[in-house]
Amino acid sequence: MNAAEHLPALQVVLPLAAAPLAVLIRHRLTAFLLVLAAIWSAFAISVLLWLQVGDSGPISYAIGNWPPPWGIEYRVDALTALVLMLVSGVAAVVLPYSRASIEHEIASDLHYLFYAMFALCVAGLLGIAITGDAFNLFVFLEISSLSSYVLIALGRDRRALVASYQYLLMGTIGASFIVIGVGLLYLETGTLNMMGMAIRLQGLTGDRAVLAALAFLTVGISLKLALFPLHQWLPNAYAYAPSAVSAFLAATATKVSVYALLRFYFSIFGETAIFQRLPMADFMLLLALAGMFLASTVAIFQQDLKRLFAYSSVAQIGYIVLGISFDSVTGVTATLVHMVNHAVTKGAIFLLLGGVMLSLGGITLTRVQGMGRSMPLTSFGIVLCGLSLIGVPGTAGFVSKWYLILAALEHGQYWLVGAILSSSLLAVVYVWRFVEVAYFRAPLPGDEVRREAPLSMLIPAGLLVVATIWFGFDTSLTVGIASDAAQELVRSGR
C-alpha cells in the first residue's frame, strides 16, 4: 500500500470529504482552515500527478479496485494534469482571498456553508477532469453545477437569486443533454468507459445514434461552456455572484467544460469518420467568430465592470473554440494555452474588482472614476490584465493569440488572422473605457485619499497578475504541457 498510488483518488476525495466536515463543524475559522488544507493539498497532489505523468506516461486508477470495464476508471494524462493544476491552483489562490472578501458580502453565520460549497465545487470540477467514465463525468458535472448555483445565489443583490435560477435551468438542460448523449453512446457501444467507447466507435462513419449523441453532447457542453449563442446565463451569474465566486467560476467552470468538449471530440469521437462527414469544424468556427465579435461589441456598451468583463469572457471563449475548430495540433495547443492564460487573467481581474467593490462600494463605470488615484495598485493590475485580454506582447494573452494565428496560417485561412486582430481591437475599446474613466477623470468627492483593498485580498490578486505577465515571457510551462496534451489528443485521432 503506497500512498503515491492513490493520488488520483485523493485528488477528488480530499475536497469532497472537506465539504460535509465543514458543514458539521459549523465554525467559520475551523471550516476555513479545513477547506484550505484540503484545497492546498489537492493542488500539491495535482503537481505530483503531473510529474508522475511526465515520468511514466498516463496513469490509470481503478476505483475500489474494480478493473476498468466494470468499475470506474480515473485516468490522468497530460491534458488532465493541466486542467487539474489549473482548477486546484486557482482554487488555492481564491480561497485565502475569499476570507476577507465574503466578510462584507455574506452574513457571517453562513460562512461555513460558503466554504463547504466551495470545496464541493472544486471536488466536482476536479472530478470532471480526472474521471475516465462518461457517466461519472455527468455526476461530477452536477456536483460542481449544483454547488455553483448555491455560490452564485449567495450574492448580496437580489438579482443574484434570479441569475442563479436561470443558470440552474440552463445548466440542468445542458447536463440532461450531455447525459442523453452519453446514454446513446452507451446503447451503441455497451460501455461507459471513455477508452472503451473510443475503441468500439472506431471506424464508424454515419450511424444515426452516434450522430444524435454527438449533437446532444455538443449542445449540452456548449450550454455549460457559454458558447455563443448559449451564453445568456453567464453575464448575470458572474455580475451578481460574490466577488470570490465570480473570480473562481470565471477562471475554472467554463474551462473545465472546454476540457469535456475536447475529451468527447478528440478522445471518444476522434477515431470515427464523423468529422469528415459533418461540417462540424465550419460550424464551430462560425459560432466562435460570432462570439468573438458580438460579445466584445456588447461588452463595450456595459456600465457595470463585472458585466463588461463577463461579456469579454464570452468573447474569449470564442477564441478557445476557434482553436478547436482547426482540428490540428497547433489549434488545440492554442486552445489549451488560451484556456490557462485566460483563466489566470480573468481570475485576476475579478479578484481585483472584488477589492474595488469593497473599497468603493460599487463597480459601475461612473462609480470608479478617478480610481487610478485612490487605488493605484488595483487599477494598474486591471490595466495589465486588460492588456493581456487585448493580446499585447509581453502578456499571457499575446502568447495564446500568437498560437491561434499560427494555427490559422497553418490551415491556410489567412483571412482569420485579420479576424483575430480586428476582434482584438474591440478588446482595446472596452479596456480603454476603463482606462479613460480610472485615469483621466477626477475622483468623486471623498475618493481622493488612497484606500486600497486589504492585503489579504491584494496578495492573491497580485499573484495572478504576476502569473499573467510571467506566462507572457516564460511559455515553457504553459505551452510545454499544452503541446504535449494536444499531440496526445490529436494523434489519438488521426
> Cβ closer to other proteins: 60 or 364?
364
Give residues 363-382 in contact with other proteins (rule: CB under 8 A): 366-367
Q: Does 281 bind other proteins (CB under 8 A)?
A: no
Q: Is 276 exposed, middle or buried (0-12, 13-18, 19+ CB in 10 A)?
A: exposed
Alpha-carbon distance of 123 to 42, in angstroms, equals 9
Give residues 433-462 in contact with other proteins (rule: CB under 8 A): 444
Give DSSP secondary structure letters for 197-220: HHHHHTT----HHHHHHHHHHHHH
Among 29, 37, 51, 169, binds other proteins (CB under 8 A): 169
- Residue 342: C-alpha distances to residues 370, 388, 397, 479 (Å): 27, 8, 7, 14
Question: Measured from the CB of residue 168, what is the shortest distance to other proteins in angstroms?
Answer: 5
- Residue 406: C-alpha distances to residues 145, 198, 330 (Å): 35, 29, 7
Measured distance between the N- and C-terminal CA atoms of the chain, rounded to whole angstroms: 39
> Does an H or E element contain 75, and which?
strand 73-76
Q: Does 149 bind other proteins (CB under 8 A)?
A: yes
Q: Does 40 bind other proteins (CB under 8 A)?
A: no
Question: Measured from the CB of residue 157, what is the shortest distance to other proteins in angstroms?
Answer: 9
Q: Does 173 bind other proteins (CB under 8 A)?
A: yes
Q: Does 122 bind other proteins (CB under 8 A)?
A: no
Q: Does 176 bind other proteins (CB under 8 A)?
A: yes
Question: Measured from the CB of residue 161, what is the shortest distance to other proteins in angstroms?
Answer: 5
Q: Would you state the cell numbers that stand for residue 426, as one nine-digit string?
A: 474591440
DSSP structure class, residue 28: H
Q: Does 315 bind other proteins (CB under 8 A)?
A: no
> Cβ closer to other proteins: 61 or 138?
138
Distance of CA 213 to the CA centre of its chain: 24
- Closest among 179, 198, 200 to 189, alpha carbons compared: 200
> Cβ closer to other proteins: 181 or 381?
181
Q: Does 215 bind other proteins (CB under 8 A)?
A: no
CB 71 within 8 A of CB 33: no
Q: Does 135 bind other proteins (CB under 8 A)?
A: yes
Among 87, 153, 387, 453, binds other proteins (CB under 8 A): 153
- Residue 386: C-alpha distances to residues 63, 206, 265, 345, 382 (Å): 43, 45, 32, 8, 6
Question: Measured from the CB of residue 135, what is the shortest distance to other proteins in angstroms?
Answer: 6
Give residues 178-197 in contact with other proteins (rule: CB under 8 A): 179-180, 183-184, 186-187, 192
Residues at the contact surface with other proteins, assessed by CB under 8 A: 135, 138-139, 142, 146, 149-150, 153, 158-159, 161-162, 164-165, 168-169, 172-173, 175-176, 179-180, 183-184, 186-187, 192, 366-367, 444
